[in-house]
Amino acid sequence: MSESNKSESKGSGATSRAAAATALFQVLEKGESLSTALPNATAKLSPQDKRLASAISYGVLRVLPTLNKLVGAKLQQPLKGKLKVLHYLLLVGAYQLYCQRIKDHAAVSATVEAAVVLKKRSNKALINGVLRQLLREAPDADENFERHLPEDNAHNHPRWLVQQFETDHGDKAASILRENNQHPPMWLRVNERQFSRDDYMAQLKSEGIDAVPDTEARNAIKLLTPCPVDKLPHFHDGAVSVQDRSAQLAADYLNVDNSHRVLDCCAAPGGKLLHLLERHSFDCPVHAVELDANRIERINENLARQQLSAEVHCADAADPSKWWDGKPFDRILLDAPCSATGVIRRHPDIKWLRRQSDITELAELQGHILNALWETLTPGGELLYATCSVMRVENQSQIETFLKQHSDATLIPIESDQTMVQILPGDADGDGFFYARLKKAQ
Q: Can you name the residues that pair with 264 across neighbouring β-strands?
A: 288, 333
- CB within 8 Å of 412: residues ≥ 6 apart: 382, 419, 437, 438, 439
C-beta contacts of 404-410 below 8 A and 24+ residues apart: 405/371, 406/374, 407/441, 408/379, 408/440, 408/441, 409/374, 409/438, 409/439, 409/440, 409/441, 410/438, 410/439, 410/441
Residue 266 appears among annotated catalytic residues: no
Amino acid in the structure at residue 29: E
**Strand blocks (E) in 254-307:** 262-265, 287-290
Q: Detail the DSSP E strand segments found in 225-376.
A: 240-242, 262-265, 287-290, 311-314, 329-335
> Which residue type, as a one-letter code, is found at position 172?
K
User: Residue 119: which region, alpha, beta or left (left: phi > 0; alpha: psi -120 to 50)?
Assistant: left
Helices 34-41 and 47-62: crossing angle in degrees, nearest 10, is: 140
- For 12, the 3-state DSSP assignment is coil
Question: In sequence order, what are the beta bridge partners of 185?
Answer: none
* Catalytically active residues, by annotation: 388
